[in-house]
Amino acid sequence: MKIAVTASNNNGYESKVNEHFGRSPFFAIVDTEKEEIDLVKNPAAKASGGAGVQAAQLISDQGVEALLSGSVGPKAYSALTSGNIKMYSTKDETVRKAVESFENNDLSQLTSPNGTPRK
Amino acid sequence: MKVTVLSGKGGTGKTTVAVNMALSVPDIQLLDADVEEPNCQYFLKPNFNKSEEIYREIPEIDQNKCTACRKCVDFCEYNALAMMLDEVLVFPEICHSCGGCEKICPEDAITEIDRELGVLKHSSTQYDIDFWQGELNIGEESSVPVIEALKEKSDLQKDIIIDAQPGTTCPTIEAVVDSDFGILVTEPTPFGLSDLKIASQLMDELKIPYGVIINRAEEESDYIIENYCDKNNIDILLKIPFKREFAYLYSDGIPFVIDYPEWQAEFKKVFTEIRGVLDEKDYSN
Ligand code: SF4
Ligand code: SF4
C-alpha cells in the first residue's frame, strides 16, 4: 500500500512531519510493502491559492491510498475524499514514526477537515 | 463629489467617520463597500427594501461528455479544478471565473453556470441617507465584482461617501480608484502610524488627493501622526477625541453626531474643505 506523509524537509524516513497539508514543502511517498520511500517536492507550497486542491491532485497522481498529516483543510479534504484517499491525523515527529504509528493502527482517521485554509 | 473613507487596518474608526459624515451632509449617498464586513448598517438601522444578487460564472462539467483528458485541470492557473478517479471536480470558491476551461475543453463538456457571489441592498434609512450596501457571500473570495456592481449604483447628482474595506489590497483599491478624494482614518499610536504610511503610499500611487482624520485623538499622543503629516504635507482634516461617551454610543450602535449635533458642523466643515481643495485643484489645472 502506498501512503503519503507531509514532510518539512527532504531527509528520507528522518524527515520531519509537516503540520499542514496544502503547503507542506514535501511529501514522502512510502510503499509499505516494498519499504520504499520517495520524497516529492510540493509545487503548491508556494501557490497563491488553491494549494490544498493542487496538493491533493499531486498525491492522488502518485497513486496513494492514505495520507498522514497534522491537518487537512476543507477543500483538500473534499478533493481527497473524492479521490478515495483516507486521511489520518498524526502528531509524530518523523516520517518513520508516523508510518510506524499508522501500521500499528495508532492513528485516528479524519472524518472532517481539521485545518483552516490559508489564502 | 465622491469621497472614500479608508484605513490601513480594521478597527480604526473608518465606519464611524463614514456614518457620522453621511449624517452631517445633506442629500448624501452612502455606499458600504466593505463587503466582507459591511458595518454601517449597525449604525443606520436600515430597512432594506431592494436587493440585487450579483452573479459570476463557474464551470459545470458534463461527466457524460468528459473523456478525462485533463486539459482543463492543467489549464486552470488557480487550481480550481482537480481530476480525481477520472472525474473532474470544480472548486467554485477558488474559481476566478476566467472562462478559460470552457474554451479549452475539446469535448464541449464544460458549460458556465451562474453562482451567486454576493448581494447589493438598498434602503433609504430613517435618516435622510440613500444607502447601498454590498455583501460578499461567505466562503467567496473575490470582493471586487461586488464592489464594481455597488459603484454602479452611484447617484452622480449627489455627493457620495464610500466606506472601503480596510487594508491596501484589490478590494480597497477598487473602492477608491475613481474617487475624487480619500479620507484616511487612523489612530495616534505607532501601529496607526505604520498603517497610515502604507495607506498614504497607496493614495500617492493612485494620485488621489487625501487627508487624515485622527480617531481616538489624545493630546499627549497626537504628535505621532502630526509629525508624519507635517513632514509629508498631508492635511489633518479632523480629530475625533477619545471620549468615553463616544465609545458607549458606538457600542449601542448610535452614531455620535445624533447625541452631539455640534459635531455635525465639524463634519460638514471637513466636507466643505474637501470641496475647496478639489475646486482649487481644478482651477490650477
Ligand atoms: S477538458 Fe473537457 S474532456 Fe478534458 S477533462 Fe476537462 S472537462 Fe473532461
Ligand atoms: S473558469 Fe478559469 S478559474 Fe474557473 S475553473 Fe475554469 S479555468 Fe479555472
As for the ipTM of the complex, it is 0.89
Amino acid at B38: P
The reply to whether ligand 1 has any atom less than 6 angstroms from the CB of B61 is yes
pLDDT at A118 exceeding the cut of 70: no
CATH superfamily of A2-109: Dinitrogenase iron-molybdenum cofactor biosynthesis domain (3.30.420.130)
In this prediction, residue A100 carries a pLDDT of 96
**Cα–Cα dist B248/B268, whole Å:** 23
The reply to whether ligand 1 has any atom less than 6 angstroms from the CB of B72 is yes
Percent of chain A at pLDDT exceeding 90: 87
pLDDT at B128 exceeding the cut of 90: no
A-B contacts (CB, under 8 Å): 50
Q: Nearest residue on chain B to A83, judged by CA atoms? A: B84
Give B95's pLDDT tier (boundaries 50, 70, 90): very high
For the segment A88-96, the average pLDDT, to the nearest whole number, is 96
Domains, chain B, ordered by start: 2-45+126-284 (3.40.50.300), 56-116 (3.30.70.20)
pLDDT at B31 exceeding the cut of 90: yes
Cβ-Cβ contacts under 8 Å for B181 (sequence gap 6 or more): B1, B2, B3, B4, B208, B209, B210, B211, B274, B277, B278
In this prediction, residue A45 carries a pLDDT of 86
How many Å lie between the centroid of ligand 2 and the Cα of residue A18? 29
In this prediction, residue B284 carries a pLDDT of 62
pLDDT digits (tens, 9 = 90+) for A29-73: 999 999 999 999 999 888 777 899 999 999 999 999 999 999 999
Closest CA to B202 of B48, B30, B4: B4
The answer to whether the CB of B88 falls within 8 A of the CB of B162 is: no
How many Å lie between the centroid of ligand 1 and the Cα of residue A119? 27
Which range, of A82-91, A108-117, B48-57, B149-158, averages the lowest pLDDT?
A108-117
For the segment A100-111, the average pLDDT, to the nearest whole number, is 95
pLDDT at B215 exceeding the cut of 70: yes
pLDDT at A119 exceeding the cut of 50: no
For the segment B267-275, the average pLDDT, to the nearest whole number, is 95
For the segment B15-39, the average pLDDT, to the nearest whole number, is 95
Q: Cell for B193?
A: 502610524
pLDDT digits (tens, 9 = 90+) for B59-87: 999 999 999 999 999 999 999 999 999 99
